[in-house]
Chains A and B, each alone.
Chain A
Amino acid sequence: MSNIAHSQRADDGAQDEVRRPSGLRLWAGYLRRDKKALFGTIVLGALIFGAVFAPWISPYDPNAMDFMMMEGPSLSHPLGIDDLGRDLFSRLLHGTQISLFVGISTVLLGMIAGVTLGVMAGYFGGWVDTIIMRYVDLQWAFPNFIIAVYLVAVFGTGLTNVIVAISLAYIDDFARIARGMVLTIKEEQYVDAARTLGASDSRIMWRHILPNAMAPIIVQATVSVSYAILAEAGLSFLGLGVQSDTPTWGLILADARSFISRAWWLGVFPGLFIMLTVLSINFIGDALRDVFDVREVTDVD
């Protein structure tokens, strides 16, 4: 958010003293007008709270087994008990940790790698651009999820490999957006001014161009977090993700498959957790797009 204010300021640098409202206050004002963004912020806030404090607020140990098995939702176990007597709510709460962690870390990694490539391609042009974009275009032609599946096939399963695989699958999205932004911003006068003052290429790229290219990148990052969460759930569900004991949403669903005809709650609730998370992130992403006034991200070429 500060970047937008920054970009407006860049035009008339003399008014540096003008106070701009903080990002948080802007957002709070926006929420009053947009019910969906409000819903998203509250739900995501609750999920983040649940994830951070899961060890303290979850009613049971997520892996503690009990002889009481396959019980439906009740007062003591609000979302029911699974086939091994484990409390479903506690497991899903701990799953939130992993899902959000994977979602955020993969997008951060993919964003850093993709933006670096995209900025370099856009700034240097020529053969750097050609080499980078040939690869990016190739990857762009394929669904991210299929790329992630193939990368897991190459690297092997497990949490770290899943994170690496999903992040690599996102490189093309960020590279394309960053490159497109750099191509426009490169022509601005303040870039020429910086160059005249003797600023180095890397200083111009990272200090002068990138901050002004951040708005669409942030919007893309938000949307990507929700896709990354779906991708992780999908990989875990297929048995390619995090292994055995760890309670991830996808894995809980995969385990539940054999019992769903007898225990509907094992199938319904993990999916609802995934859906609520993705829904709230998408709402926030739409709101950010509105606030930043970014066109549909897929339009950026």
Chain B
Amino acid sequence: MSGYLLRRFLGAIVVMWAVATLVFFMLRAVPGDPIGAMLFDVGDAQAIADLKAKLGLDQPVYVQYVKWFWLMLQGDLGNSIYGSRIEVSRIVLEALPRTLSLAFLSFVIAVAIAVPAGLISAIRKHSALDHAVTIFAFLGLAMPDFWLGIMLIIVFAANLHWLPAIGYTPLSEGFWPWFSHLILPSIAVGTPFAAIIARMIRSSMLEVLKTDYMNVARAKGLKKLRIILVHAFPNALIPVVTVMGIAVALLMAGAVVVENVFAIKGLGRVLIEGILNRDYPVVQGAILAVSAIFVFANLAVDMLYTVIDPRIRYES
């Protein structure tokens, strides 16, 4: 099994390298000179040429690539070319905990909604509760997450004044300030995720409840709750974990947009501001960081899979 995990880990590194390379060359090799267009605001042709020379953009692309890659391995992602010229690695490191906090809390909220909802609708199939869960799932998938964020701000921040509308407070300044700022954005990010998971749990529970070993468990006279939680649910989780990778994609994409609604300066906000400011080193850095989270979250899902389903042993 450790051989498998090692191979998966190396695979993840190769994917990261491929992404970094693609990101690098797309900004430079696409016709129309995207970086040139980004530097357009700097001033006249001479000013642009000077800046390009200073940034090393006048050198051949492969020289730039090797240099860039070498620096990146040392954690140097270059400097922002907009405003304060701050180091990109610093911007990314400051943004990272915000995005991770948001994604983590969204995950927790989504699972907390989806697991009971999916279980109830599978056990009480075709009941009013089941229909309610189905409707919730359809609406959750159809609702734009940023719009849900705005609605939550209107209701819980602007009108009821229960929670802060925007911003972020680090965990180091106390649990409640951190948590209260993240509740609304996490609900916005987590809702579509909850919708998918709830539907998955429902259908895979229904499959499991039909199996023979369920009948055996019932025939043994086990308590219903025990049958469902101990015998059925863990088996029903396996297909759910398989789609976790796709779900993580959803969480990251959701966080990128929703951070912008709640003015949380996480990776998503950094990425979008970078694009709007035509700040290509920041764009590169942010997209690499988002990709890294994504690739390693997928790796983690794979490992979780082996834990949850003991039948799977990755021997070659």
Contact = CB atoms under 8 A, between A and B. Distances in A.
A237 B258 CA distance: 11
Interface string A230-251: 1001100111100000000010
B139 A274 contact: no
Interface string B28-39: 001010100100
A154 B30 contact: yes
Contacts of A264: 154
B143 interface: yes
Contacts of A145: 253, 256-257
A149 B294 CA distance: 15
Interface residues of A, number: 41
A8 interface: no
A260 B19 CA distance: 39
Given A143-B253, A146-B253, A238-B257, A275 B146 contact: no
Nearest to B154: A260
A152 B27 CA distance: 11
A194 B44 CA distance: 63
Interface in B250-268: 250, 252-253, 256-257, 260-261
Given A153-B283, A240-B275, A279-B139, A260 B144 contact: no
Given A238-B257, A240-B272, A260-B154, A142 B143 contact: no
A233 B261 CA distance: 14
A267 interface: yes
A28 B147 CA distance: 34
A271 B138 contact: no
Interface in A107-138: 138
Contacts of B274: 153
A31 B261 CA distance: 39
Interface string B124-138: 000000000000001
B276 A234 contact: no
Residue among A154, A155, A274 having the largest count of chain B Cβ atoms under 10 Å: A154
Contacts of B148: 271
B298 A271 contact: no
Contacts of A156: 32, 34, 37
Contacts of A261: 154, 158
Most B-side CB within 10 Å, residue of A150, A260, A271, A283: A150
Contacts, number: 121
A138 B146 CA distance: 27
B291 interface: yes
Interface string A139-171: 001111110011011111000000000000000
A272 B144 CA distance: 9
Interface residues of B, number: 47
B5 interface: no
B183 interface: no
B146 A234 contact: yes
A282 B141 contact: yes
B144 A149 contact: no
B256 A149 contact: yes
A146 B283 CA distance: 12
A270 B147 contact: yes
Nearest to B192: A230
Interface in B263-291: 271-272, 274-276, 283, 287, 290-291
Nearest to B246: A298
Contact of A278 (B142, B253, B295): B142
Given A143-B249, A260-B154, A149 B271 contact: yes
Contacts of B294: 141-143, 146
A171 to B, nearest CB: 14
A253 B275 CA distance: 20
B194 to A, nearest CB: 16
Given A234-B144, A240-B275, A298 B243 contact: yes
A195 interface: no
Nearest to B12: A141
B252 A237 contact: no
A276 B143 CA distance: 9
B103 to A, nearest CB: 12
Contacts of B275: 149, 152-153, 240
Contacts of B143: 271, 274-275, 278
Given A270-B147, A275-B147, A298-B243, 17 more contacts: A138-B15, A142-B294, A143-B253, A144-B253, A146-B291, A149-B272, A153-B271, A154-B26, A154-B34, A155-B32, A156-B32, A156-B34, A238-B260, A267-B147, A271-B144, A282-B141, A282-B142
Q: Which 9 A-B pairs give the minimum distances between C-beta atoms? A: A271-B147, A143-B249, A145-B253, A279-B142, A278-B142, A143-B253, A261-B158, A153-B275, A275-B142
12 contacts: A142-B19, A145-B256, A153-B287, A155-B32, A156-B34, A156-B37, A264-B154, A271-B143, A278-B142, A279-B138, A279-B142, A282-B142
